Amino acid sequence: MVTVAGKVVVVTGGRRGLGAALVDEVLARGAAKVYSTARSAYADERPRVVPVALEVRSAESVAALAELAADAEIVFNNAGVLHPAPLLTGDFAQVAETFDVNVFGPLRVARAFAPVLAANGGGALVNMHSVLSWLAGSGAYGASKAAAWSLTNSLRLELAPQHTHVVGVHAGFIDTDMVAAIERTKAKPADVAARIVDGLEAGDTEVLADEVSVAVKSALSGPVDHLVVPAAG
């Protein structure tokens, strides 16, 4: 079981949306320091927040973050990109970028921070997935999140010997800039962040951050052709 109070935390994609809510949540729970990343440099005047520029597609950028945050004890792999490009007809560059950010990005972060977490007692790695990990119909994004789910489950086994607790998070639509143009019922980022940190501190290996994720997870034993994104409306 990992508690946040007194810990040093890394949140990738921490400037906006769910990442910003996670930064707020861990600070409220007493985190000693939070490294919060964005693709470009930015300012945060809170004394316990260290804003850092990070490009998860760059091994060099990720390595620089791991060197800077050598005191990290909890890492939230939250940075992501949404390109719902169809797999057959979408721009292949967007498909490739989606996998590079949403799958290989978290893997780069995990590989860079594994020795850091081991040196600091094991700690925790929290990876953001999506309910779309389990549902067909969202093109490259859903496929990348399915791959990220599998990635997390394998990392859990590989990191267990060093006592790093690995958590996978599934959530439906969250009210952030990323999905502002999509007309769906959306959860509040603060509510999702609270459920994620609750799960982490409870020792859960998987967090279903909203009711839609609970419902879809319960349907996984059914026919695969039923696992499709429902029409909006």
Tens of pLDDT, residues 183-212: 556 678 999 999 999 999 999 999 999 988
179 or 22, which is more confident: 22
The DSSP H or E segment spanning 49 is strand 49-53
Give tens-digit pLDDT for 95-105. 999 999 999 99
What residue spans define the domains of the chain?
A: 8-226
The percent of residues above 70 in pLDDT, for the chain, comes to 92
d(CA 162, CA 138): 36
Give me the pLDDT at residue 226, please: 63
Instruction: Quickly list DSSP for 98-113.
Output: HHIIIIIHHHHHHHHH
Q: Quick one: which of 170, 144, 167 has its CA closest to 156?
A: 167
Nearest to 212 by CA among 152, 148, 131: 131
Neighbours of 205 (CB within 10 A): 12
Average pLDDT value for residue range 209-226: 85
| The pLDDT value given to residue 222 | 76
Give 8-226's CATH code, choosing from 3.40.50.720, 3.40.630.30, 3.30.450.20, 3.40.50.2300. Answer: 3.40.50.720
pTM, two decimal places: 0.92
pLDDT at 231: 56
Say how far apart CA 226 and CA 38 lie, in whole Å.
Answer: 37
Per-residue pLDDT of 26-58, as tens digits, reads 999 999 999 999 999 999 999 999 999 999 999
